[in-house]
Structure formats: C-alpha cells, structure tokens
C-alpha cells in the first residue's frame, strides 16, 4: 500500500515545480472531489455539510469541510508550498563577452548551494498578463525542458575547491541559458510556455527548478529522492488523509501556505491573516456569534507539518544524543525548549494518542543543545490564531538541497495519521 502512496506523491511533486503549480494541482483535485471554490473578494454563502476551498495569491490554499451539525472547533493541518530556489531577476539576461548568455538570479530561502551545480535546470512560476477585456490574469509557466545549467569551476582553476568554498550568489550561481545567439530568448521561451505573446506579459515570478527525476532506491527500495520533499511530502501526505475524512463535531481544514522559506511574513504566509480571515468567515457565515468563535478556538487543534532531520549516516554527531529520527520509522514529533517548535506536553499527548489509535509509529526530534533550529508554521500562525499545536514532520536527509532524500514508507504513515486526526475527537481536561 505504501508503494502506491509514494508513487502518487512523487508524481504530484514532479507536476508541481513551483508554489503556484502546487496550489493549482490541489485546486484541480478539490474540484474533482466536489469542493466549491470561494473567492475572498465575494460574499461567502456557506452551509452545513458543505466542502469549500479558497486561495490567496495563487500560492496558498485553505480547504475545509463543515459538519452537518453545530461545530465545536477547528482541526487543521498546515504545510507549505514553497521550497528554496533561485528567483530570476528583472532584466535577467546577462552576456559574458561573445560566448554566453547567463541569467541574473537571487537566492530564495536558505538553500544548500553546492548541489545546484552541474545538473539540468528549468524555469517555472507565473506571469501576469493583461487580457483583451482589461483584466490582469495569472498564467502558470513551466518551460518543462532541460534549459539551464550552473557549471562548476574546474579543479585545475580552483585547487582548494575540495577544502571548503564560500559561494557568492551574485558571481558563482548564475545559470547559463545558451551561447551568444540566446540573447533575447528568455522572454520568448516564457511567453510560449504561458501560451501568450511576449508583449502581453506585465510581470512575473519565475524560479529555477531541478530537472532530475525522482527515484526510489536502496537495497530494499527503502529510500526516495526528489526535489522539493520539504515540504511537498507533508503537503501531499496530509492532503491524502484529508480528502476521505469526516468529522461530526469539528470543521476540518487543510492549509498550505507560501513563503515559509523566507519567514512567512507575507499576505499569503503563515504570519498573515489568511487563516484567521478564513476561520472568522466560516464562523460568521454560519450565523455564529463572536463569542462562539472564541469558544471554538479553545476547542481547536493544529498539526504543523514540516519535514524533520534524519540522523545523518556520515555526521551522526550532529544529531541529539538520544532523539535521533530515522527514515521509515514513522512521524517525527519536534520539540524545542525555546518554542521554535510549538509542541508542549498538551499537544504531544493529544497527537501521540492519535498515532497510537491509528497504529502509526512515531519518534522524537530535538536539536543538539548547542545547535539552533529554525522556526516553523506552527509558532508563526499562532500569532494570528492561537490554538493547541504540535510540530511534526517526516525525517529526511539533505534538507534544502535541490535533491533531497526520505523514507519510502513514511508518506503512507502521514496519510494514515492525518485521516485519523481529521476523524478524531480530542478531549483535553484542565488546560
């Protein structure tokens, strides 16, 4: 069974080279499952038993199901649509003498830069186009071919390359588009991919992506490697559990936010009002009072799902002495004393109980005490919507590389756990 889930996930990732494609692919799947699309700029007409979704910026999406009876609270799983990459700057083409045309790019997020060298790259994202009726519309872009390469400098010209090297994003990381004849071609390639004329494009958000195909590998096919496992693995696994789940007492929500890799402080990030606005409109749209909204929040729960570090085969000293997650050993519950992760005794107990009931294995993660961890969706979104939250993920290697590695069984574990969570009736006493 896990093989099927893993293959579907890898297909989803392959078809989602940018955050905009992630949201569009989720949108299509929701429409196929009879969810009604809502627009933030319109008045919502909601009904009990309804299934709905709403997007913001084309890169974040919240889908939800309303029970047929009065609801007590909200059950949510949050993940993110973006991954570290290089964003193409305006007026991107740069000539290098009469030999090359390069693209001017800048870092998006905190990536490992070395793995971007010497592999086929392409371009994906969106363009904004003015249509005949005067409206400005978004068009997805995926060049979908081996288009670019960032070449390494030969060892003969940098004898210290294997002794550690500090990469300069402005000089070392510029991808080659072609020889001198490629001048002026980028705009044409993008326009063709978007199905528009070049002169119609008024703006763009375009990113590089790795063209290497995903694979399942290992002596027993126990590992998977792919681009964008962080965080599309959690996005897909939680969505797979969300679709079939029903809950009689709680509104269930699947949330995917953009810009987690750059701090979430955007109108479509976890720090925005997107989730808060959605929850308030659900409450208000069903004729409930402000007081009822606050009582619902007090009976709500969020799972913040963002991948976790597996113990490294060559650098096991970087892991905590006792909390050392392994791939294919189940869901990772993440802890931090300084609340970089939101997990506390309350949310830990609730989530472990759900895993136990679903017969899904789980394990613990903490950073070494002398290594700082990064923040996640949970503590950021809690600044807008304060609910009991647990931080979890699936264990992986090479996080923030353009080609990451994880366990082939773990996506199914998350799907099972997510479905159990959305079915659950979490009862907390004295907190």
Q: What is the pLDDT of residue 339?
A: 87
In a domain, 431, yes or no: no
Across the chain, what does the average pLDDT equal?
96
Q: How far apart are CA 376 and CA 250, in angstroms?
A: 24
200 with 232, same domain? no
CB 249 within 8 A of CB 71: yes
Q: Is the pLDDT of residue 407 over 90?
A: yes
Tell me: pLDDT of 411 over 90. Answer: yes
Please check whether residue 215 lies inside any domain of the structure.
no
Residue 200 lies in a domain: yes
Rounded to an integer, what distance in angstroms lies between the CA atom of residue 116 and that of residue 105?
Answer: 13
Please determine, for residue 150, whether its predicted confidence score (pLDDT) is greater than 90.
yes
According to the model, what pLDDT value does residue 373 have? 78
Angle at which helices 274-285 and 290-297 pack, to 10 degrees? 120
Per-residue pLDDT of 341-361, as tens digits, reads: 999 999 999 999 999 999 999
In a domain, 341, yes or no: yes
CATH code where residue 196 lies: 2.30.250.10
Which of 141, 175, 210 is where one domain is finished?
Answer: 210
Q: Do the domain assignments include residue 45? A: yes
Q: Who wins on pLDDT, 378 or 149? A: 149
Per-residue pLDDT band at 376 (split at 50, 70, 90): confident
pLDDT at 375: 75
Full 3-state SS string of the chain: CHHHHHHHHHHHHHCCCCHHHHHHHHHHHHHHCCCEEECCCCCCCCCCCCEEEEEECCCEEEEEECCCCCCCEEEEEEEECCCCEEEEEEEEEEEECCCEEEEEEEEECCCCCHHHCCCCEEEEEEEEEECCCCCEEEEEEECCCCCEECCCCCHHHCCCHHHCCCCCCCCCCCCEEECHHHCCHHHHHHHHHHCCCHHHEEEEEEEEEECCCCEEECCCCCEEEECCHHHHHHHHHHHHHHCCCCCCCEEEEEEEECCHHHCCCCCCCCCCCHHHHHHHHHHHHCCCCHHHHHHHHCCCEEEEECCEECCCCCCHHHCCCCCCCCCCCCEEEECCCCCCCCCCHHHHHHHHHHHHHHCCCEEEECCCCCCCCCCCHHHHHCCCCCCEEEEEECEEECCCCCCEEEECCHHHHHHHHHHHHHHCCCCCCCC
Pair 190, 234 in one domain:
no
- Kindly indicate the confidence band of residue 424, based on its pLDDT and cuts at 50, 70 and 90: very high
Say whether both 138 and 31 belong to one domain. Answer: no
- pLDDT of 190 reads 98
Mean pLDDT of 300-327: 97
**Interval 36-53 mean pLDDT:** 97
Say yes or no to pLDDT of 49 above 80: yes
Handedness of CA 409, 356, 312, 396 (dihedral sign): positive
Q: Please state the rounded mean pLDDT for residues 75-97.
A: 97
pLDDT digit string (tens) for 166-179? 999 999 999 999 99
* 339 plus 291 within the same structural domain: yes
Does 41 fall in a domain?
A: yes
Tell me the mean pLDDT in the region 363-379: 88
| pLDDT for the residue 1 | 72
The enclosing domain of 357 has a CATH number of: 3.40.630.10
pLDDT at residue 428, as a whole number: 87
The answer to whether residue 336 scores a pLDDT higher than 80 is yes
378 and 317 in a common domain = yes
In terms of domains, do 293 and 361 share one?
Answer: yes
How do beta strands 388-393 and 301-305 pair? parallel
What pLDDT is recorded for position 311? Answer: 98
Q: In the predicted model, is pLDDT for residue 418 greater than 80?
A: yes
Q: Tens digits of per-residue pLDDT, 388-399? A: 999 999 999 999
User: CA–CA distance from 424 to each of 119, 263, 293, 351 (Å)?
Assistant: 45, 31, 20, 10
End-to-end CA distance of the chain: 38
Indicate if the pLDDT at residue 403 is higher than 80.
yes
- d(CA 290, CA 287) in angstroms, rounded, equals 10
Q: Which of 179, 210, 241 is the last residue of a domain?
A: 210
Query: Is this model's pTM higher than 0.85 or not?
Result: yes
Q: What is the pLDDT of residue 79?
A: 98
Task: Identify whether 428 is part of a domain.
Answer: no
Mean pLDDT of 414-428: 95
Q: Of 159, 177, 210, which marks where a domain is finished?
A: 210
pLDDT band at 97 (very low <50, low <70, confident <90, very high): confident
For residues 359 and 248, membership in a common domain is answered with: yes
Based on the fold, state whether residues 249 and 195 are members of the same structural domain.
Answer: no
Residues 261 and 378 in one domain: yes
Number of structural domains found in the chain = 2
Domain that holds residue 33: 2-83+227-423
Q: Over the stretch 181-206, which tens digit does the pLDDT of each residue have?
A: 999 999 999 999 999 999 999 999 99
Residues 137, 259: one domain? no
* Count of Cβ atoms closer than 10 Å to residue 252 Cβ: 24
Q: Which two structure tokens, joined as six digits, stand for 133?
A: 């009726």
Separation of alpha carbons 85 and 261, rounded Å: 10
Same domain, 419 and 384: yes
Query: How does pLDDT run across 221-273, given as a tens digit for each residue?
Result: 999 999 999 999 999 999 999 999 999 999 999 999 999 999 999 999 999 99
Asked if residue 320 belongs to a domain, the reply is yes
- Residues 308, 357: one domain? yes
pLDDT at residue 431 is higher than 80: no
């Amino acid at each position: 069974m896990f093989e099927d889930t893993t293959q579907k996930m890898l297909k989803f990732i392959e078809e989602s080279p940018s955050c905009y494609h992630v949201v569009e692919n989720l949108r299509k799947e929701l429409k196929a499952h009879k969810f009604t699309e809502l627009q933030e700029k319109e008045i919502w007409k909601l009904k009990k038993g309804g299934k709905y979704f709403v997007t913001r910026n084309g890169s974040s999406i919240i889908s939800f199901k309303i029970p047929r009876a009065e609801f007590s609270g909200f059950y949510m799983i949050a993940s993110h649509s973006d991954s570290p990459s290089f964003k193409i700057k305006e007026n991107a083409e740069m000539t290098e003498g009469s030999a090359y045309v390069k693209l001017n790019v800048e870092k998006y997020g905190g990536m490992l830069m070395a793995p971007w060298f010497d592999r086929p790259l392409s371009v994906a994202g969106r363009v904004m186009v003015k249509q005949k009726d005067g409206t400005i519309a978004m068009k997805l872009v995926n060049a979908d071919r081996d288009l670019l390469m960032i070449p390494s400098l030969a060892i003969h010209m940098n004898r210290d390359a294997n002794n550690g090297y500090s990469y300069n994003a402005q000089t070392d990381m510029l991808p080659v588009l072609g020889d001198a004849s490629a001048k002026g071609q980028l705009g044409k390639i993008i326009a063709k991919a978007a199905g528009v004329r070049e002169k119609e494009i008024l703006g763009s958000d375009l990113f590089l992506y790795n063209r290497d195909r995903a694979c399942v590998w290992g002596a027993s096919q126990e590992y998977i490697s792919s681009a964008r496992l962080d965080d599309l693995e959690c996005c897909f696994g939680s969505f797979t559990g969300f679709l079939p789940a029903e809950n009689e007492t709680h509104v269930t929500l699947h949330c995917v936010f953009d810009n987690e890799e750059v701090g979430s402080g955007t109108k479509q990030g976890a720090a925005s009002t997107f989730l808060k606005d959605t929850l308030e409109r659900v409450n208000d749209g069903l004729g409930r009072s402000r007081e009822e909204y606050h009582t619902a929040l007090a009976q709500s729960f969020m799972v913040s799902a963002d991948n976790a570090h597996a113990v490294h085969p060559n650098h096991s000293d970087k892991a905590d002495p006792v909390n050392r997650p392994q791939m294919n050993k189940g869901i990772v519950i993440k802890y931090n004393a300084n609340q970089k992760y939101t997990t506390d005794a309350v949310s830990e107990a609730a989530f472990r109980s759900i895993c136990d009931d679903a017969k899904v294995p789980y394990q613990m993660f903490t950073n070494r005490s002398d290594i700082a961890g990064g923040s996640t969706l949970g503590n950021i979104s809690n600044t807008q919507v304060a609910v009991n939250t647990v931080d979890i993920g699936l264990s992986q290697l090479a996080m923030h590389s353009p080609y990451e590695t994880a366990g082939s069984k773990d996506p199914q574990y998350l799907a099972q756990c997510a479905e159990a969570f959305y079915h659950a009736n979490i009862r907390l006493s004295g907190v």
